[in-house]
Amino acid sequence: MPLNQQPSLTKKIFFSNLNNIGNPSLIWMICVSTLILFICSSLRHILFQSNAFDLGIFDQAVYLISQGLPPISTFMGYHILGDHAAYIWYPLALLYKIYPSVYWLFAVQALALSLGVLPIWHLSRQAGLKESQASTMSLVYLLYPVVFNVNLFDFHPEAIALPALLTAVWCARAKRFWWFCLSIIVILGCKAVLSLTVAAMGFWLLLFENVVGMVLLRFF
């Protein structure tokens, strides 16, 4: 049955899934995965296997923002926003105000990739899978080699967009308009080219999920 024909059921599933954010198995998955990913990326950096492009560029830019200075990269010779227009660097700079260290970037990336477990679990439940099956899907996500490889290769803000993109899909299908918008803002803040991914998702929502009705009801 199409999701637009069962709004009450979808909303019920959404709120019931919110209660499972504190699910012990999910928390353990996130914590263990974050720790493993952080250790691996940090170890690679300690062994001098990280690169100036792009880790050095990003580390310098976030540090300069945290100090209230123009984030002009000495590697590239221009403002960091000229590199993919990623405004996510500004909230990340708040961490450098606590203590300026590149390991913040590794920690944020590891946590972001691990948090993908939550929307995967909820999307699985939305699709009608049992809790055990949803947990298995979350584990499969964490064991996907690309997730580990993305984390291992320095730091890239697109990693933060991954759980936000999955959350956007989940919220769109559950007709949670404002959470959907917040997820889109995070996605677009990670890299300008992700606007193409967001546009493609918009076409999918319009053609197959009929979410345009949700938007119209909000403003008219």
Residue-wise pLDDT for 147-166, tens only, equals: 999 999 999 999 999 999 99
Assigned domain for 168 exists: no
99 pLDDT more than 60: yes
CB pairs under 8 A, 24+ apart, for 19-25? 20/121, 20/122, 20/125, 20/131, 21/118, 23/121, 23/131, 25/135
Q: Note whether 178 and 140 are within 8 A (CB).
A: no
- 5-16 pLDDT, tens digit per residue, is 445 555 555 555
Q: Which residue has the tokens 């990623």?
A: 86
What would the two tokens of residue 66 be?
């945290």
Assigned domain for 189 exists: no
pLDDT at 3: 46
What would the two tokens of residue 138 be?
């979350």
Q: How far apart are the first and last CA of the chain?
A: 27
Beta-bridge partner residues of 72 = 79
- 25-55 pLDDT, tens digit per residue, is 899 999 999 999 999 999 999 999 998 888 9
2 pLDDT more than 60: no
Domain that includes residue 15, residue range: 3-156
Assigned domain for 173 exists: no
Cα 51 to chain centroid, rounded: 23
Assigned domain for 152 exists: yes
Q: How far is the C-alpha of 9 from the C-alpha of 168, rounded, in Å?
A: 19
Mean model confidence pLDDT for the chain = 87
Q: Which residue has the tokens 């637009």?
A: 4
- Which pTM does this prediction carry? 0.84
Assigned domain for 128 exists: yes
pLDDT at 18: 52
- 67-93 pLDDT, tens digit per residue, is 999 999 998 989 999 988 999 999 999
Q: Residue 28: which of 114, 110, 134 has the closest Cα? A: 114
Indicate the number of domains in the chain. Answer: 1
Q: Note whether 113 and 158 are within 8 A (CB).
A: no
60 pLDDT more than 60: yes
Length of the chain: 220
pLDDT at 155: 94
pLDDT at 121: 95
